[in-house]
Structure 1
Amino acid sequence: MTTEKKLTVTLVRSPIGTKESHRATVRGLGLRGINSKSELQDTPAVRGMINKISYLVKVL
């Protein structure tokens, strides 16, 4: 019985005007517009992506 940890990520700032790689990271996390939410597995790769765009998102 494995309980996978989940992270809920919410886009709170617009990626307009940010680096192209940061915009690509936002899309890679499955986020579209402001206040869109995405539930992701808690993996090192996802944590790294969140860390890269931490100024744009809120994590619950």
Structure 2
Amino acid sequence: MAALKANLKVVQTRSVIGQEETMRLTIKGLGLRGPGSSVTVKNTPSFRGAIKKVIHLVTVEEVDG
């Protein structure tokens, strides 16, 4: 069984215009500032849950810590 990588690279691919306020706040909470912006976050259950909520607005890839 492969181990999970330590970090996730999250890239915002779509705008939050027209999205619910909770999704806008989730994007902001992840540290994303607009389409094309990216952040690297820890691979924890809380970050994975936030990403799952806005998965239609972002792309995600695992990266080494």
TM over 0.5: yes
Look up the equivalent residue of 1:17 and give its one-letter code: G
Gaps of 5+ in 1: none
Partner of 2:51 in structure 1? 50
Q: Which residue of 1 aligns with 2:10?
A: 9
Match of 1:23 in 2: 24
> Partner letter of residue 34 of structure 2?
G
* Gap regions ≥5 residues in structure 2: none
Q: How far apart, in 1, do the equivalents of 2:23 and 2:35 lie?
A: 15
Moved over 6 A (4+): none
Count of paired positions:
57
- Give the distance between the partners of 2:17 and 2:7, measured in 1 at CA: 27
Q: Structure 2 length normalisation: TM-score?
A: 0.85
Report the 3-state secondary structure (helix = DSSP H, G, I; strand = E; otherwise coil) of the residue aligned with 1:55: helix
Q: State, as a whole percentage, how many aligned pairs show the same letter.
A: 44
